[in-house]
A and B are shown apart, each in its own frame.
Chain A
Amino acid sequence: METKPRLLTTLDFVTIILLAVATTLVFFFTPIEAVMGNVQKVFYFHVANAWVGMLGFMASAIAGIAYLRTGKRSWDIVGMASVEISVVFLLIAIVTGSIWARPVWNTWWTWDPRLTTAAIMELIYAAYLLLRQGIEDPDRRARFGAVYAILGFISVPLTFLSIRIFRTIHPVVIGNSDPSAQGSFDMSSAMLRTFMFSLLVFSFIFADLLWHRIRLGHLADKVEQLKLKVTQ
């Protein structure tokens, strides 16, 4: 395993600083929403977490296509890494959404189209991680992962568009909310800037974690190969 690249160390530091700035902006720069109060501040990172979730699933589908075209094992590692990170971040988005919903909707959970499609998407990709572990042959596992990631990606636009297609109580951040939406609010300039900055920061977090996870995948591969060599 090569030593940690300098660029990755720089990215680590930049990401930590950006996250600290985003957190400061959320707590000290954005105004308190007039109706919902402080819980609305969860919004900035809640959406950013969901963004990372969808970004990673898209990356895994692209990596899946690249693997099927080239057969390079590296693409399988990228796909696997993207899914793992996105499952974690989507889980955060779902849990924080539930925490936000409690005071605003008066319930922790409701089978609203957005919540339902997000939960299904999370389960689809959690199953990807579980099912992969059951396949011993690395080539078969990679082929399965690639096809699964491509097919699983159907759930991403479905989740994204669910609040625009179906009648829902979940607010739409960009665009017009359904009249029955509860918890929507007009974003002030400070709110919008912090929101956009949070999306950027979480994109950095995704890139940083993805790089680390890919390195871990390569190391695991090396150990696996050496194990086979030693035991033969």
Chain B
Amino acid sequence: MLFLQQGPAQTTNYMIAGYTVIFGVILFYVLSLYLRHRNLKRDLDTLQELENKTNT
């Protein structure tokens, strides 16, 4: 159907959807990296404290 029309098809909504997915998923992944890093850092601090307590 797309190839029978005159002029470019009205597909702007699909373009917006595509770029929303691209930026949305990348942002979500970057956020997940940040959160995992923060949680591991907290775990590391707690474990280091525990280790220091057992040593003293």
Residues of A within 8 A of B (CB): 1, 32-42, 45-46, 49, 85, 88, 91-92, 95-96, 99-100, 102-104, 106, 182, 205, 209, 212-213, 215-216, 219-220, 222-223, 226-227, 229-230
Residues of B within 8 A of A (CB): 1-3, 7-12, 14-15, 17-19, 21-22, 25-26, 29-30, 33, 36-37, 40-41, 43-44, 47-48, 50-51, 54
12 A-B pairs, CB-CB below 8 angstroms? A38-B14, A39-B12, A42-B19, A45-B19, A88-B29, A106-B2, A209-B33, A216-B33, A222-B44, A226-B44, A229-B51, A230-B54
B8 touches which one: A35, A219, A227 (CB < 8 A)? A35
The prevalent SS among residues of B at the interface is helix
Q: When the two chains form their complex, are residues A96 and B22 in contact, meaning their CB atoms are under 8 A apart?
A: yes
Give chain B residues whose Cβ lies under 8 Å from the Cβ of A49.
22
Known: A99-B21, A229-B51. Contact between A39 and B15, CB under 8 A?
yes
Q: When the two chains form their complex, are residues B43 and A42 in contact, meaning their CB atoms are under 8 A apart?
A: no
Give chain A residues whose Cβ lies under 8 Å from the Cβ of B7.
34
Q: When the two chains form their complex, are residues B9 and A212 in contact, meaning their CB atoms are under 8 A apart?
A: no
Q: When the two chains form their complex, are residues B33 and A230 in contact, meaning their CB atoms are under 8 A apart?
A: no
A102 CB to closest chain B CB, in angstroms? 6
B40 touches which one: A102, A104, A219 (CB < 8 A)? A219
Q: When the two chains form their complex, are residues A41 and B15 in contact, meaning their CB atoms are under 8 A apart?
A: yes
